[in-house]
Chain A
Amino acid sequence: DQQVKQNSPSLSVQEGRISILNCDYTNSMFDYFLWYKKYPAEGPTFLISISSIKDKNEDGRFTVFLNKSAKHLSLHIVPSQPGDSAVYFCAAATNFGNEKLTFGTGTRLTIIP
């Protein structure tokens, strides 16, 4: 049972445009959400997070939106840059402790110059 779902395996976006990556979850106990970025032959790198008490968190070009009623979160990257080409994983945790992260299957983002 996939509790965290990223339904788009891949996404291509023109450089300078907005990239929107989506993630859905089924477990209503999740209260902390993270986005990781992964380049080939490297480990995932933490990008941005949001707790369930917020609906938006912004860090530079990256904004994460959380819609608890829809059990949906999204990552917006504006403007998209070629270095943003990577695989993006969303992850979720329960009970305010992130020892058990549940990951989605990832979305490969390609930024077209």
Chain B
Amino acid sequence: DADVTQTPRNRITKTGKRIMLECSQTKGHDRMYWYRQDPGLGLRLIYYSFDVKDINKGEISDGYSVSRQAQAKFSLSLESAIPNQTALYFCATSAPSGNQPQHFGDGTRLSIL
């Protein structure tokens, strides 16, 4: 089983719909992140969370919200989806101490028509 699981893996939806992407992890890490990747671009940070009570905006948080339901679960929501939010979304986790690498899920491909 994957250490970082993202659901769904693919989603097609319409403009204006509310969408939730879910991430769960079995690594026991406190820190969780959401990124998006657009074609030809690197990953960009949307939100990150150091623990259940700590949520922080990343580089491109406008139009997104998150919920940290438990240490192992971190959800990303698009309240009213728009076409330019079509992208590949990745969840990641890391241990809290020092320089620890982030571990990524396999991504959710989201298309907004």
Contact = CB atoms under 8 A, between A and B. Distances in A.
Contacts of A97: 99
B68 interface: no
Contacts, number: 61
Contacts of A89: 42-43
Contacts of B103: 46
A105 B40 contact: yes
Interface residues of A, number: 27
Interface stretch (A14-22, A36-44, A62-70, A71-79): A36-44
Contact of A32 (B44, B99, B104, B105): B99
A43 B107 contact: yes
Given A44-B90, A99-B50, A49 B40 contact: no
Given A98-B94, A99-B48, A100-B58, A44 B43 contact: yes
Interface of B: 4, 31, 33, 40-45, 48, 50, 56, 58-59, 90, 92, 94, 98-107
